[in-house]
Amino acid sequence: MALKTGDRKNRLGSFLGNDRANVAIMMAIYMPVAIALLALGVDTGALYLERREAQSLADLAAIVAVSDVANAEKNVRRFLNDNNVSDFEIRSVDLRDDADEDTDDPPGLSSNTEVLLEGGLYVADPAIVPENRFSPGKAPVNAIRVTIRKPGALYFGNMFLDSVSMEVNGTAQNMESAAFWIGSRLASLDGGIANALLNNLFGTNVSFAVMDYRALLDAEVALFPMLDTLATEARLTALTYDELLDTDVSLAVLAKALKQSGHSSKVDTLLSAIAASAGARDRMIRIGDLVQLGYLGRYRVGEGGSGMIANVNAWSILTAAASLANGSQQVHLDLGAEIPGVGGFDLYLAIGEPAQGSPWLRIGEEGTTVTTAQTRLLIDARIGGSGLLSSLQIRLPIYVEVARGQATLDEIRCSPAGSKANRVVLAVRPGIARAEIGSVDPDVLAKFDRSPVSGDAVLIQTLLARVKAKAVAEVTNLEATDISFSAHDIEKNRVKSISTTDPTQSLTKSLLNSLEIRIEGPLLSLSTPAAAQAALAAAIAPVASQLDQAINTILTLVGVRLGEADVSVSGLRCANAVLVQ
């Protein structure tokens, strides 16, 4: 029977008004949504935990890698195997010191897990934003970044997504460092010449007796306690070592700090005399031009360098400081007849400014550099003639210029076998040396932007004759040579040398052999240049070795030598690698 219109309306209203089983209906509608949200939560939590585990692996792998850069890949592979990571591929990029360009982005996954090791330079500079402190591919390699790329596990999401890739990275820096220096060879004292030069450099009037000098040579000073004492002597408080190094102090204050470091009474007496005498001249030096401490400079004065034990020689640091205090200034000494056979002897010395950021002694990581100062020396000797020139006096101006020598910390090897197997390798390049006989203007000697040699030297000058001459002898610059220091060498502060010259060869005789002579005037016009040169050689030969010794003594006392470099590693700190990013 057909329902009437009114009945249909009543039944529809009754259905719509019936609220029985609403919960079941709503659950049926929302259950798929709840299940999807639960699945998303499970996958999100699992991916978060998996990412944390991967991040821990990347951080620890970075520490393992940088602890032994030479075997980084092998050690990381062993580390991953020990931590039950399987189906992985390792690639290494720029784990060498000759890299100088950034690497491209790594390619996509070629196995279940890809591990990328990138070597580079990390600079711990607060002025640089953290993400820019590591430069992949830059030398020297002191840090390694480990990047892990892997697919994340999906338990429910794989119904909607094919895969999810995650990438994490960790960067660790090697904190090994060494203290090393260049120049300041410990030479023997040579009487009046050395005394006159040192007193001029120090601004003192102290008689350096041989026994006093030897006592200073034997006096070793612990670097960080000496710097602590220096801060006290300079009345500086509440500052870091870097702030101390940026301070100017006088040589007198430096001598007082050395005295407080504990020595024999003889050394204390001599340091007191230097401090008292130098105080009158008030020569100042910026300590940072003499010593740099690398990352250890961030420690506060009194904290002792956080385990770095580095010793310096009292005499070496004094002479290096005196040379720096005299930087770009000229020393002129009239030494009279200090050399047997030489009737007169004038010495002119100019010491250039040190290379920016490259001091005499430095604590640093691989790649740091120290240099000697550029030095110019003019010796103007008057020598009596012989034979053809017996009635004449010969004026012999010898000009010597030594460019900066350089030593770079090439390798620090902290052996897991123990401290006795540790070693440090320095790459050393002696400075170019050039010696000339020519006309030299002493007023230009300290102007390092131009040459002071302007032409031929006048060796003999009389009313009727003049002999002019010129000569050049050069010591060519070699490629850097590696010098290795064992743990025993470091403990004993052993000094090692590299030379580009034959030590048995006389510099003065080499100049005479290349001498070009021009004779002017009637008196000697009948003499040939060969005869004149032979006569000059006969007159100069007896004093050639003394002139060579004088040149070597003078240069040695200011920390340089002809075609040679002297280096030493005075401290080594083998610290654990640390995470930096």
- Confidence at residue 173, expressed as pLDDT on a 0 to 100 scale: 86
- Confidence at residue 101, expressed as pLDDT on a 0 to 100 scale: 41
Answer yes or no: is pLDDT of 60 > 80: yes
- Residue 340, preceding peptide bond in cis (omega within 30° of 0): no
- Confidence at residue 262, expressed as pLDDT on a 0 to 100 scale: 66
Q: Per-domain residue ranges for the chain?
A: 14-173, 204-282+284-325, 326-574
Select the more confidently predicted residue: 137 or 204. Answer: 137
Answer yes or no: is pLDDT of 257 > 60: yes
- Confidence at residue 98, expressed as pLDDT on a 0 to 100 scale: 43
Strand pairing class (423-429; 433-437):
unpaired
DSSP 443: G
pLDDT in tens, 413-434: 887 666 788 889 998 888 778 8
Token duo for residue 260: 């407080």
123, exposed or middle or buried, with CB in 10 Å at 0-12, 13-18, 19+?
middle
Burial 298-314 (b: 16+ CB within 10 A, else e): ebebeebbeebbbbbbb
pLDDT in tens, 206-251: 776 666 667 777 788 888 888 888 888 888 876 888 888 888 888 8
pLDDT in tens, 181-200: 887 655 555 556 777 777 77
Distance CA 62, CA 79 (A): 11
* Share of residues in the chain with pLDDT > 70 (%): 78
| Mean pLDDT for the stretch of residues 390-408 | 81
Which of 253, 254, 231 has its CA nearest to residue 241? 231
pLDDT in tens, 18-51: 666 667 767 777 777 766 667 677 767 777 888 8
- Confidence at residue 328, expressed as pLDDT on a 0 to 100 scale: 56
pTM over 0.75: no
DSSP 200: H
Answer yes or no: is pLDDT of 99 > 50: no
